[in-house]
Amino acid sequence: MRIEEEIKLAFKDVLIRPKRSQLGSRSEVSLEREFKFLHSGKIWKGVPIIAANMDHTGTFNMATALSEHKVMTALTKFIEPEQWVKFVAEKVARKNFTFVSAGLNDKDIPRLQQIQKQADFDFICLDVANGYTQRFVDFIKRVRETFPDKTIMAGNVVTGEMTEELILSGADIIKVGIGPGSVCTTRKKTGVGYPQLSAVIECADAAHGLKGLVCSDGGCTVPGDVAKAFGGGADFVMLGGMLSGHDECLGDIFEKDGKKFKRFYGMSSAEAMNKYHGQVAEYRASEGKSVDVPYRGAVENTLLDILGGVRSTCTYVGASELKELSKRTSFIRVSMQINDIFNEYNVAG
């Protein structure tokens, strides 16, 4: 047993220090980025925000809406191959903003091959709760060998050394985050986790040294958190809860106490495991929860609010392009008293 004394930070623990800026308006800020991926060699340009590969947010309707703004969607891994054909056929350009998701069981590679044969794709998201197993490392190598020209995002991890190992195993983008998600209970059930901002900073440092990239996954509840993730060095930011409750999300609208809601659940929740596996296996515990989120209409309105917030952050620090934000970000640690007031305001709001 050992204890690390170094302070680790979540998004709520910091604010971004304003700096002298020559920018006169948010309209002068470009949020598009261009990346060349290490292993696939592909070049991509767009707004580096990704809707999470959850049942609720990783839908074709979400991908269709977000792609209009050059924003990406990681589709849930439970979408069948034949469903891809119509989606891509309707507008081939969508595939440039869409991840095909998979786990690491024996059926996943044949499923990916079938989708590739029927509809083709550019991006793969290999998603597991625990990215620290040798089995996952070996699986990434197999997927890279099978799909040498595809861009692979893999995770989740929260430390620099494992970020490096996954990149060396064939991943182009490392998904960073254990436990910060709004419907994730991993930290409560297992005691395992890492404050998200520090995880992003440390993993980004490790990845960029190898010319790899990172995606901050989880912990964002307001547009300012998205800006902090980018400021901390994230190349991409994945959102679940912030994009929940919209028309494009899975599930019906229902009323409760005179208000409208939609169902939102974690993919390790009992609800998800009962849906896809018939039960929660005896050897494991549910590490997610189910919640009713307020219905919020079209996702475009929320997306524009998020993008507007990040643009405003850039104007406060003088970054005319998103890629400049991390270079111009200075974080200020927030005192406990101010932090508590800030959290109370968010809850009340």
> Where in the sequence numbering do the catalytic residues fall?
184
Q: Which residue has the tokens 């930290």?
A: 187
How far apart CA 328 and CA 8 sit, in angstroms, is: 21
Q: Write the burial class of residue 224 (CB in 10 Å: 0-12 exposed, 13-18 middle, 19+ buried).
A: buried
As beta bridge partners, residue 266 has none
In which residue are the tokens 């200020």 written? 332
Contact 221, 33 (CB under 8 A): no
d(CA 237, CA 59): 18
In contact, 127 and 105? CB cutoff 8 Å: no
Distance between CA atoms of residues 204 and 218, nearest Å: 15
